[in-house]
């Protein structure tokens, strides 16, 4: 199922999704949008952030369950300021999320295999548009390093595997004809070029 008015940005760490969301937030017509992220700012999301920093060590499968639980809260719950996006999208806001289930299908499939993340995410709605930021992990890690501390997944070999998986997952969705529009972006391009592509695709 496609959730109308729902737009998702995906890519490995340092691909530039957050930068592009900031550019949208600075627009004059920003009130048309609701900007959100995964992990969310609910308690589940906060716990996931501790795991990402390396403060809590979890079995990789436990993380896969938690990312899916946080996603359910993001869609349907109200335990965080950015939760309940299905209702927001239905009320006419364009919901733009930095990461969604494609992150689980890639990152968690690298850490605990493909089957569990696929199963846990099979019932969630798909966005109307998926922007996939493609980038060489060497370039993305340079960007990550220029902004400070690395998280546990921010390591070149891991990101290389993740980038590969992302490409496979997006290829698969392209063949599936789900009705979701997929826009692949060369994220090594200058920031302004990428934001122009996004604005054009969003028709804004
Ligand atoms: P990121 O989006 O880079 O946020 P920040 O810029 O605040 O660090 O970090 C989120 C991390 O969580 C990123 O490494 C990907 C990971 N992640 C998963 O592994 N699975 C998921 O389902 C989601 C949503 C994120």
Using DSSP's 3-state secondary structure scheme, residue 122 falls into coil
pLDDT of 182 reads: 98
Nearest CA to ligand 1 atom 23: 103
- Domain spans, the chain: 2-202
Find out whether the beta carbon of 18 lies less than 6 Å from any atom of ligand 1.
yes
pLDDT of 40 reads: 98
The fold of the 2-202 domain, in CATH, is Rossmann fold (3.40.50)
pLDDT tens column, 137-167: 999 999 999 998 899 999 999 999 999 999 9
pLDDT of 94 reads: 98
Find out whether the beta carbon of 19 lies less than 6 Å from any atom of ligand 1.
no
Using DSSP's 3-state secondary structure scheme, residue 34 falls into strand
pLDDT tens column, 3-44: 999 999 999 999 999 999 999 999 999 999 999 999 999 999
Find out whether the beta carbon of 108 lies less than 6 Å from any atom of ligand 1.
yes
pLDDT of 31 reads: 97
- Average pLDDT of the residues of the chain: 97
Q: Residue 63 C-alpha to ligand 1 middle, in angstroms?
A: 12
**Full-prediction pTM beyond 0.95?**
yes
pLDDT of 138 reads: 94
pLDDT of 161 reads: 96
Report how far Cα 46 is from the mean position of its chain's Cα atoms. 16
Find out whether the beta carbon of 74 lies less than 6 Å from any atom of ligand 1.
no
Q: Specify whether the CB–CB gap between 39 and 49 falls below 8 A.
A: yes
Nearest CA to ligand 1 atom 13: 13
Q: How would you class 70 by CB atoms within 10 Å of its CB: exposed for 0-12, middle for 13-18, buried for 19 or more?
A: buried
pLDDT of 14 reads: 95
């Amino acid at each position: 199922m496609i959730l109308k008015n729902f737009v998702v940005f995906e890519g490995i760490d340092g691909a530039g999704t957050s930068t592009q969301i900031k550019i949208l937030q600075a627009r004059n017509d920003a009130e048309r949008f609701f900007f959100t992220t995964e992990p969310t700012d609910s308690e589940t999301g906060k716990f996931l952030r501790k795991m990402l920093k390396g403060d809590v060590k979890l079995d990789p499968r436990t993380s896969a369950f938690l990312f899916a639980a946080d996603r359910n809260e993001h869609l349907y719950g109200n335990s965080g300021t950015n939760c309940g996006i299905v209702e927001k999208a239905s009320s006419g806001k364009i919901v733009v999320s930095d990461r969604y289930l494609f992150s689980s299908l890639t990152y968690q499939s690298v850490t605990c295999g493909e089957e569990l993340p696929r199963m846990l995410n099979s019932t969630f709605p798909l966005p109307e548009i998926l922007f996939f930021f493609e980038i060489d992990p060497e370039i993305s890690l340079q960007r990550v390093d220029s902004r400070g501390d690395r998280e546990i997944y921010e390591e070149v070999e891991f990101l290389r595997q993740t980038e590969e998986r992302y490409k496979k997952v997006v290829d698969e969705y392209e063949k599936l004809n789900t009705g979701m529009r997929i826009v692949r972006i060369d994220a090594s391009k200058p920031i302004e070029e990428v934001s122009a592509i996004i604005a054009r695709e969003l028709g804004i």
